[in-house]
Amino acid sequence: MARELSEVGVVGLGTMGAGIAEVFARAGLSVTAVEVDDTALARGRGHVEHSTGRAVKRGKLDPTERDAIFERIRFTTSMEDLSQAELVVEAVPERMELKTEVFAALDKICPPDTILATNTSSLSVTELSVATGRPNKVVGMHFFNPAPVMKLVEVIRTVVTEPSVVDDVEALADRLGKVDVTVGDRAGFIANALLFGYLNHAVSMYENRYASREDLDAAMRLGCGLPMGPLALMDLIGIDTAYEILDTMYRQSRNRLHAPAPIIKQMMTAGLLGRKVGRGFYTYAEPDSAEVVPDAHTPAPGSAAAGARPVQRVGVVGSGTMATGIVEVLALAGYDVRFVARAPEKVDAVTAALTRNLDKQVLRGKVAEGDRDAALARVAGTTSLDELADRDLVVEAVVESLPVKEALFAALGEITRPGTVLATTTSSLPVIRCAQASGRPGSVVGMHFFNPTQVMRLVEVVSTIATDAEAAATAHAVCERLGKHAVACTDRAGFIVNALLFPYLNDAVRMLEANYATADDIDAAMKVGCGYPMGPFELLDVVGLDVALAIERELYVEFREPGFAPAPLLEHLVTAGYLGRKTGRGFRVHTAR
């Protein structure tokens, strides 16, 4: 049976350590909070005052509760004051030599049964434990910032940590109101191992000028529903902190995807550490501010749509959910829309689906009856590609097959006028192949909409090496009229969103495959610890394991990066017919399809 701990300590009162001390005190524990000197101690107390003061202002904490929190915390500069602690959490800077020094000191001061915990986010807990004479009493207790708000705690056991110690820490996490996931001692644990590979990949994209920082961040916020874009998150974490975590993970794993992008080291050397100093990937109004100040790198509003060709008549080829959604948003935006389906019954099916969708929006109060009727009047269906000859823009939304798309673009190149912009909605296939097939590559652009098109605001506008500026500007202008946020990128596998999302999902599958953690714990870590709307395995089951495998294969073939090679477990599941929700079985069993 787990012990009920009452006397705890925290060493190191930076933002994280002060937050941990506050969490303990809020839960009714007696806390001894230690810093190296009076200046650091005052700064640490200030962190707690600021955090609790803000909670009081927001009505989430009563003034009497705040006072009780401070009554439970003893601020001191003497490690000797921890002599009665039942558990001590170390939260000093992420340097092995400093942490081992603290653990060696605590080992001499604390009673033999005191649990020594480290809040490290990436360093080896095992290596820290051997700095003491009680490695069996050492455990990782990784809180997430800000500790009073974030619900996740990763509990890290080493090969010699006593089971009773893990039980005690898990019970404490539950008492604190936290969600705990317990894992073994491995670089990055769950959350950071998955998060920082993704962040590093995004930084590399920016460093290689594949996309702007604004477009990278917007793509992941709007395309994946993430609370922050990767570069803004790097600034929040701290460029120096990110470098140390990545470097530690790389030294332990030798995974090239964790080798810090060179620009991270350069920014760290230049003192561009993120929000805490007022400048990182973005410039902030002042240190620790979230307000971004526009600078020379910020694109002028509307600049991407300058030079666009006029568009009034739009064609859509396809009859699936994506094609129907595109027809709907185009019609609501006032375009004359003509769609092409393979057979008369497909034309009828699209028309019926479009009518149902618009009727639902009227019932929900999102579309007026008059606007619905006007939109439907702007739409006509046909089975003949020849009826697209007068279109200013044609958007292809057919099956994700390169031979099918190439044949379609060859036909469109002959049918449509020379000035017509031709767009493909492909999510992973090379746009240049469609462009070459059309015979007029300068007029071809990618317009990758996200499903459901009526809801998702993001469109990736993809320019090939042959796309002319007018065609790209036209796509941006159409997106603006649709109320979509267009991000610009060039033609390479995965574009922005899929190129960042699917390696992260693949890493999660590899983690499961290695029996490091369960699918439930990995999902919980990413949702609770990182604020993701879905865990990786929930998302894979929704996307479809076969779709994920196809995209990951495209990424691997294009980039030849060993870390992008699809995890064998994913391949095996697809081979066995476990495709996710659509088949009722993927990483989990789904009772209703």
Q: How far apart are the first and last CA of the chain?
A: 42
Residue 446 within a domain: yes
Residue 154 falls in the annotated catalytic set: yes
Q: How many CA atoms lie within 13 A of 556 on its CB side?
A: 15
As a whole number, mean pLDDT of residues 493-509 equals 96
Judgement on whether residues 478 and 528 belong to the same structural domain of the protein: no
pLDDT digits (tens, 9 = 90+) for 435-445: 999 999 999 99
For a pLDDT cut of 70, what percent of the chain falls above it?
Answer: 98
Q: Which residue in 82, 83, 106, 102 sits closest to 91, CA to CA?
A: 102
- Facing residues of 382 across strands? 340
SS3 category, 344: helix
H or E element at residue 304: none
pLDDT digits (tens, 9 = 90+) for 91-150: 998 889 999 999 999 999 999 999 999 999 889 999 999 999 999 999 999 999 889 999
- Which one from 154, 460, 538, 552 is the annotated catalytic residue? 154
pLDDT, residue 2, reads 81
In the predicted structure, residue 272 carries a pLDDT above the cut 60: yes
What sign for the dihedral angle of Cα 198, 199, 200, 203?
A: positive
Q: Which residue in 72, 96, 97 sits closest to 10, CA to CA?
A: 72
Token output for 40: 């650091």
In the predicted structure, residue 593 carries a pLDDT above the cut 60: no
Judgement on whether residues 175 and 223 belong to the same structural domain of the protein: no
What is the CATH classification number for the domain harbouring 62? 3.40.50.720
* Sheet containing 313-317, strands listed edge to edge, beginning at the edge strand earlier in sequence: 379-382, 336-340, 313-317, 393-396, 421-424, 444-449, 458-463, 485-490
- Return the exposure string of 57-93: e unless at least 16 CB atoms fall within 10 Å of the residue's CB, then b: eeeebeeeebeebeebbebeeebebbeebbbbbbbbe
Q: How many CA atoms lie within 13 A of 304 on its CB side?
A: 22
In angstroms, the CA 376 to CA 458 distance is 24
Judgement on whether residues 334 and 420 belong to the same structural domain of the protein: yes
Find out whether 339 and 362 touch, Cβ atoms under 8 Å: no
Q: How many domains does the chain have?
A: 4
pLDDT digits (tens, 9 = 90+) for 364-380: 999 999 999 999 999 99
**Of 157, 184, 211, which marks where a domain is finished?**
184
Judgement on whether residues 222 and 325 belong to the same structural domain of the protein: no
Token output for 239: 């460029």
Residue 295 within a domain: no
In the predicted structure, residue 307 carries a pLDDT above the cut 90: no
What 8-state DSSP symbol labels residue 284?
B
pLDDT, residue 356, reads 95
In angstroms, the CA 461 to CA 421 distance is 13
Residue 291 within a domain: no
Token output for 141: 């207790």
**Of 490, 517, 538, which marks where a domain is finished?**
490
Residue 435 within a domain: yes
Judgement on whether residues 381 and 365 belong to the same structural domain of the protein: yes
Instruction: Please state the length of the chain.
Output: 593
This prediction has a pTM of 0.90
H or E element at residue 460: strand 458-463
Q: Which residue has the tokens 């009227």?
A: 362
pLDDT, residue 428, reads 84
What is the CATH classification number for the domain harbouring 531? 1.10.1040.10
Residue 287 within a domain: no
Q: Which residue in 557, 540, 561 sits closest to 197, CA to CA?
A: 561
Judgement on whether residues 170 and 216 belong to the same structural domain of the protein: no
In angstroms, the CA 324 to CA 420 distance is 21
Q: Which residues contact 486 (CB under 8 A, 6 or more apart)?
A: 304, 459, 460, 461, 475, 476, 479, 480
**Mean model confidence pLDDT for the chain:** 94
Structural domain harbouring 93: 7-184
- Which one from 121, 122, 212, 427 is the annotated catalytic residue? 121
pLDDT digits (tens, 9 = 90+) for 569-592: 999 999 999 999 999 999 998 875
Residue 51 falls in the annotated catalytic set: no
Judgement on whether residues 555 and 444 belong to the same structural domain of the protein: no
- Facing residues of 316 across strands? 339, 395
In angstroms, the CA 61 to CA 40 distance is 26
Residue 486 within a domain: yes
Q: How many CA atoms lie within 13 A of 393 on its CB side?
A: 30
Judgement on whether residues 199 and 113 belong to the same structural domain of the protein: no
As a whole number, mean pLDDT of residues 79-88 equals 96
In the predicted structure, residue 363 carries a pLDDT above the cut 80: yes
SS (H, E, C) 37-95: CHHHHHHHHHHHHHHHHHHHHCCCCCHHHHHHHHHHEEEECCHHHHCCCCEEEECCCCC
- Which one from 22, 30, 47, 142 is the annotated catalytic residue? 142
In angstroms, the CA 532 to CA 524 distance is 9
* β pairing state of 115-118 and 138-143: parallel
Give the confidence band of 301 by pLDDT, cuts at 50, 70, 90.
Answer: low
Q: How many CA atoms lie within 13 A of 419 on its CB side?
A: 11
Q: Which residue has the tokens 């006509």?
A: 380
- Which one from 192, 319, 498, 506 is the annotated catalytic residue? 192
Judgement on whether residues 374 and 476 belong to the same structural domain of the protein: yes
Helices (H), 208-343: 213-224, 230-237, 239-253, 262-269, 321-332
**Of 243, 277, 311, which marks where a domain is finished?**
277
Judgement on whether residues 314 and 334 belong to the same structural domain of the protein: yes
Judgement on whether residues 124 and 250 belong to the same structural domain of the protein: no
Token output for 424: 């493909």
Angstrom distances, CA of residue 422 to CA of 117, 266, 396, 404, 440: 59, 41, 8, 15, 9
SS3 category, 271: coil
As a whole number, mean pLDDT of residues 479-505 equals 96
Residue 286 falls in the annotated catalytic set: no
Residue 285 within a domain: no
> By mean pLDDT, which of 328-337, 473-482, 558-567 is the weakest?
558-567
Judgement on whether residues 74 and 168 belong to the same structural domain of the protein: yes
- Facing residues of 46 across strands? none
Q: Which residue has the tokens 């092995």?
A: 96
Residue type, 417: R
Residue 288 within a domain: no
Residue 443 falls in the annotated catalytic set: no
